[in-house]
Structure 1
Amino acid sequence: MELSMPPSEPNAAAQPIPSPTPSPDRSPDPSPKRSPDPSPAEAPTPHPYRWLVLAVVLLAEVMDLLDATITSVAAPAIAADLGGGPDVTQWLQAAYTLPFAVLLVTAGRLGDRFGRRRLFLLGAAGFTLASGLCALAPGPGWLIAARVLQGALGALLIPQGFGILKEVFPAAELPRALGLFGPVMGLCAVGGPVVGGVLTQADAFGAGWRLIFLVNVPLGLAAWAGAARWIPRDTPTAGQRLDLPGMLLVGAASAALVYPLVQGRELGWPVWSLVLAAAGPVGFWLFTRYQLRRPSPLVHPSLLRNRGYTSGILVAVAFFASFTGLMLVLSVFLQGPLGLSPQNAGLSIAPLALGIAITAGPAGALAQRRGRTVIQAGIVLTSVGLAVLGGTALWSGSSVDTWRLLPGTFVAGLGMGMVIPPLFDVILADVSTAEVGSASGVLNAVQQLANAIGVALLVTAYSAFTDHGRSPTTALAGTAALTVTLLAGALLLSFRLPERARPEA
């Protein structure tokens, strides 16, 4: 799930957005020999269907965002129906986000090489098909495999949209078009858990939880049809190189880190699982060394030497791991020990998303003046909310209910809303204009990887507490404390971020 606002240049392979202000004439000859500026009649005509193209791109974003939040609420019901323990609920999320993260940056270059329209159509059709396969799953293995396919095709689909919008919108209108992403993301964040709970409990036509995947079918078909009708054909860029070894290396490192976190507890933490978990960070280190030597790397080498940017990556990992992991832990707790229905669980999580929606708008504007201070205040407020949540769970014991948990979740959401909008723009502040495309694409991929790590780590921690005889409320409090520890690390690292957000953000 990508909750961050689109950065200044979201497409990893695209060039920077040209400024609408013409550059000054630097000719030493004062005589007017240069061609006159084109008259309004000679100016390029904007694409007639550009706003319909925007609607199609937003529809693709909605599918991606809803797919993440809906699944987090429905995961316990899916595991109960298909069989399996907490590892199944974790893989439902990780199986989507891992391939999405690994393929995201490369997919931007694929769009340049083979054409963005072509890959958008392929991604929309494939995502729709994969959603149907998820809905038809007879067992957990089928469903997890279909989720992997869904994540890979989502990574193919999503990066193409921003490049397409750059092609169809004039520079003066592009900020207005990109400004619509914020409200759409906010609505998905607030409405996703509720919609997931309602669809799962509705059990229309006896489909049960399968409706959360079937809802993507009409959306995907509409996105494909709209793209085929309104997105203009583009010319592929010859000579784009793909760093396949780099992609395989970062994929192996990601899997080595996440797999033992998910399966290690289930298997009794054998030695190989601990070795594999330790190999994950080593794999990422090898990836950075390899990128410094590649002639056409996935990541600009200068970014890996930028202290503010590399620190920002770690802040993003800690924060988004906390956010996504906590969402799933709350869903498991509400539908397990509290025995809530998926619909009521979704309504109980909604205050977290509502808090995000309330502070996200003001935080984005305030960060232009206060920069990283806004992020730091948001991390502190999120930690306070989680401390209240954990303390309430411990104090209430067996009498805990959703109303008692509401203040903690709401305050945590207010804090998260202060972090999400400005985070990427502050991280990108010291990145050169030529590097913004690559830097923002990597950040989006890191966010997806953090989602997988957070789900694997926090759900495993919650389950480990209950395995050792702790009550569910104590397990929830312990997991909240672990999340605060992650956020404390993010807070310390945030002092290495640039002080101000990117001016044009």
Structure 2
Amino acid sequence: MTTSTEPGAVTTRRSSRLMWAILALVLLADALDVIDGTITNIAAPTIAGDLGGGEILIKWVGPAYMLAMGVLLVVGGRLGDKFGQRRMFLIGLGGFTLASAIAGFSFDPTVLIVARVVQGAFGALLIPQGMAIMTKAFDQQMLGKAFSLFAPVLGLSSIGGPVLAGFIISADWFGLSWRPIFLINLILGVIGLVVGAKILPRDDSADRSATVDGRASGLLAVTMLGLLYGLIEGSTNGWGVIPIASIVVGVLFFAAFAHRQRTAAEPLITPSLMKNRGFTSGLLVCLVAVAAGSGLLFVLSLFLQEGLHVSPRYTSLGLVPLTAGLFLAGFATMMRGLIPKYGRRLVFIGLGIDIVGCGLVLALVEAFGTDVSLWVLAPAFLVIGVGIGLSFATIPTVALGDAKPEEAGSASGSFSSIQQLASAIGSAAVTSVFFQAAASGMAHAMEVTLIVVLGLTVLSLPVVALMPRKAPAGPPAE
């Protein structure tokens, strides 16, 4: 008996395999971004102990990456439109891989911080291209499957990053201590480059006329750098002339950025969005809540290692309940249709649960001090994770509820950038509060930090009431 296969069926199978391969590559790139954004939460104390740099290195090693990512994320998307998503994806992945190698081989704190900035910059070039490539290359059925995989993969990456860091540092492979957390990107990056060069579709629809407002991005970069440097330098070495001047420069450049937004032909944020109360209130809630939550996640890791003297491995395991709660809550909001059903009420619920979790940790630290165990903290960490997961996943979507269809793409990109910048600000600011209070003991430092985080979260609640009641009916336009 002989069998025959229709040529069309062979083409379909090949096309299906190609789409799955492209999806795997895009997910790899996004996973690398999430892992490298969270991996230093665990590794920072070990890195500072090895390279020196003390508090200032701990404060910069995470925010440096997120700062560059947040400032350049929208620009990365525009460059993909102008020069082609395939080209920018490969350049972004190549630069990210090279910067990871420099970070892994760094023997000086300054070199490491610069490498982290470069990592974030190339990450901002890499990440926006994946969604555009899939939108062009996939049919509707495959696109639906792809979107359904993003939440679990990125959620697992957020858990896997800190856990991986803890185990790598404790394993001390070849006596390299923390360095393999960056050097592992060399293997994954080279594989991604080889595969991407073979399978990514050619850039036949690049729009050379697309404009990129580099001036606005430069103004925003100086704004954030001035504010962060002033904050970190002032909290570390005292509030002298340099940190105050740095903050003043940041404020002045922000004013210049705002003016540029009003006068530029192609502003980074669509001007009409800034007149939309629902969008601007959502942006403010995102800035405050994400800053407080991201800073808290970093400080909890510091408290476990510096206060409870837990090893990096057991610190990563001790934080699994928190990251698991974050993942499960975020996944549930996307897969169970909770956001369209509850809208901004889900933001209230998430922030409320976060407040309860922080209150539980505060009560435990006040009761037991640095003698509190990981097992005792685990339920409270889980509650915090659920609260952050519900709110972080919901705020950007609900804020688009009143946006017009033609504004949705700009609004979505703006929120991605704000989330990264808020994470950078929060990590630096909340860590500064922690170290400032540490002179009176680690337990006191944790208590003060929790009170600050609770205060910021409570202050954001009235602003939630100004957000749109419902999320938009469909996904935002790209």
TM range (shorter): over 0.9
User: Which residue number in structure 2 is paired with residue 421 of structure 1?
Assistant: 393
- Structure 1 residues 288-327: aligned runs within 5 Å: 288-327=258-297
- Structure 1: which 5+ residue stretches go unaligned? 1-40
Report SS of the residue matched to 2:427: helix
- Match for residue 153 of structure 1 among 95, 107, 122: 122
Question: For the Cα contact (< 8 Å) 1:127–1:153, is it kept in 2?
Answer: yes
- Match for residue 121 of structure 1 among 73, 90, 93: 90
Structure 1 distance, partners of 2:202, 2:183, is 30
User: Which residue number in structure 1 is paired with residue 79 of structure 2?
Assistant: 110
Structure 2 distance, partners of 1:219, 1:412, is 32
Question: For the Cα contact (< 8 Å) 1:191–1:350, is it kept in 2?
Answer: no
Structure 2 distance, partners of 1:420, 1:226, is 33
User: Which residue number in structure 2 is paired with residue 265 of structure 1?
Assistant: 235
- Match for residue 213 of structure 2 among 243, 247, 250: 243
Q: Comparing both chains, which one has the higher relative contact order based on Cα–Cα distances under 8 Å and sequence gaps of 6 or more?
A: 1
1:315 CA displacement:
0.9
Greater shift, 160-169 or 280-289, is seen at: 280-289
Question: For the Cα contact (< 8 Å) 2:308–2:371, is it kept in 1?
Answer: no
Structure 1 distance, partners of 2:151, 2:31, is 12
- Match for residue 328 of structure 1 among 295, 298, 306: 298
1:278 CA displacement:
4.7
The alignment status of 1:497 with 2:467, answered yes or no, reads yes
1:137 CA displacement:
0.4
- Match for residue 157 of structure 2 among 184, 188, 208: 188
Structure 2 distance, partners of 1:317, 1:278, is 20
Structure 2 distance, partners of 1:259, 1:402, is 34
- Structure 1 residues 392-411: aligned runs within 5 Å: 392-411=364-383
User: Which residue number in structure 2 is paired with residue 8 of structure 1?
Assistant: none
Structure 2 distance, partners of 1:296, 1:414, is 39
1:79 CA displacement:
0.3
User: Which residue number in structure 2 is paired with residue 482 of structure 1?
Assistant: 452
Question: For the Cα contact (< 8 Å) 2:155–2:331, is it kept in 1?
Answer: no
1:486 CA displacement:
1.4
Structure 1 distance, partners of 2:407, 2:195, is 32
Structure 1 distance, partners of 2:44, 2:198, is 36
Structure 2 distance, partners of 1:281, 1:411, is 36
Letter in 2 for 1:212: I
The alignment status of 1:385 with 2:354, answered yes or no, reads no
Question: For the Cα contact (< 8 Å) 2:307–2:370, is it kept in 1?
Answer: no
- Match for residue 433 of structure 1 among 368, 386, 405: 405
- Match for residue 274 of structure 1 among 238, 244, 249: 244
- Map Cα deviations across residues 130-154 of structure 1 (whole Å, 9 max, x no partner): 1111110011111111111111111
- Map Cα deviations across residues 152-174 of structure 1 (whole Å, 9 max, x no partner): 11111111111000111113431
Pick closer, same or farther for the CA change 1:206–1:249 going to 2, 3 Å: same
Greater shift, 483-492 or 147-156, is seen at: 483-492
User: Which residue number in structure 2 is paired with residue 12 of structure 1?
Assistant: none
Question: For the Cα contact (< 8 Å) 2:230–2:245, is it kept in 1?
Answer: no
The alignment status of 1:63 with 2:32, answered yes or no, reads yes
Report SS of the residue matched to 1:265: helix
Structure 2 distance, partners of 1:398, 1:112, is 52
- Match for residue 428 of structure 2 among 448, 456, 461: 456
Letter in 1 for 2:41: S
User: Which residue number in structure 2 is paired with residue 366 of structure 1?
Assistant: 338
- Map Cα deviations across residues 378-434 of structure 1 (whole Å, 9 max, x no partner): 001101100111111111124222222222211111111211222221011111111
Greater shift, 454-463 or 322-331, is seen at: 322-331
Structure 1 distance, partners of 2:267, 2:370, is 54
User: Which residue number in structure 2 is paired with residue 342 of structure 1?
Assistant: 312
TM-score under structure 1 length normalisation? 0.88
- Structure 1 residues 24-43: aligned runs within 5 Å: none
- Match for residue 137 of structure 1 among 106, 119, 140: 106
Structure 2 distance, partners of 1:280, 1:387, is 34
RMSD of the TM alignment (CA)?
Answer: 1.7
Structure 2 distance, partners of 1:256, 1:114, is 31
Question: For the Cα contact (< 8 Å) 1:115–1:234, is it kept in 2?
Answer: yes
Question: For the Cα contact (< 8 Å) 2:308–2:370, is it kept in 1?
Answer: no
User: Which residue number in structure 2 is paired with residue 179 of structure 1?
Assistant: 148
Greater shift, 402-411 or 142-151, is seen at: 402-411
- Equivalent residue pairs, number: 461
Greater shift, 393-402 or 89-98, is seen at: 393-402
Question: For the Cα contact (< 8 Å) 1:424–1:440, is it kept in 2?
Answer: yes
Structure 2 distance, partners of 1:324, 1:92, is 14
Question: For the Cα contact (< 8 Å) 1:367–1:501, is it kept in 2?
Answer: yes
Letter in 1 for 2:209: G
User: Which residue number in structure 2 is paired with residue 207 of structure 1?
Assistant: 176
Structure 2 distance, partners of 1:223, 1:443, is 27
- Map Cα deviations across residues 52-75 of structure 1 (whole Å, 9 max, x no partner): 101000000111111122111011
Structure 1 distance, partners of 2:86, 2:92, is 10
User: Which residue number in structure 1 is paired with residue 4 of structure 2?
Assistant: none
